[in-house]
Amino acid sequence: MARWEPNAHERLASAAIELFLQQGYENTAVAEIAERAGLTKSTFFRHFTDKREVLFGRDELSRLLAGAITAAPASATPIGAIGAALDAAAAVFGPERRDWARNRQAVITATSELRERELLKRASLVEAMTGAMRERGVRDPVAGLAAEFGYLAFENAFKRWIDPAGRDAFGEVAREELESLREAITELG
């Protein structure tokens, strides 16, 4: 194998998803992922701490969403700050990532251990957004409610975005979901 080749991270992630889909998450070893990518096992561990990290990352999304909330204009309402976070997420969820995200979700859905990990990821995203709301001076329970609201908009948008029938950009779908939820809250009275 070559000592250094470009795009090792992406190649490892693609190889992992392919193998997870073909033979299942539990039946796939790190060595197989590295071999499929044409890399070594040690290279895998330079990019990921374990095979779950291929699917869940290192909290990059939490940092992105929280950073966008914190950086939103001071005049932004809590929902406006959530909108800024969804806009920031749109930069990560481009059309070139749609198939990978769809396959990732299929792997998670098929594995109970990964479904549990997804719930932990959700909790960490909500916690990060709640903390960012508090940094903006938003008090509880509004900070927590805004974060939960933001996560629900994100989750609904993500599901629509990875749907094979969907063709709209993530940012567009996320804004539609945010508005739909805002209307639903109004209906609650």
Task: Dump pLDDT digits (tens) for 130-148.
Answer: 999 999 999 999 999 999 9
pLDDT of residue 6: 77
Q: Which residues, 6+ apart, have CB-to-CB distance to 109 below 8 Å? A: 115
**Residue extents of the structural domains in the chain:** 8-54, 59-188
Q: For residue 103, give both structure tokens.
A: 């396959």
pTM: 0.89
Q: Which CATH class is domain 8-54?
A: mainly alpha
Q: What is the pLDDT of residues 60-90, one digit of tens each?
A: 899 999 999 999 999 999 999 999 999 999 9
The residue type found at 1 is: M
Distance (Å, rounded) from C-alpha 184 to C-alpha 189?
9
> How many Å separate Cα 29 from the centre of its chain?
23
What contacts 99, CB < 8 A, 6 or more positions away? none
Q: Which CATH entry fits the domain spanning 59-188: 3.40.228.10, 3.40.800.10, 1.10.3720.10, 1.10.357.10?
A: 1.10.357.10
In 38-77, which ranges are continuous DSSP H helix?
Answer: 41-47, 51-56, 60-71
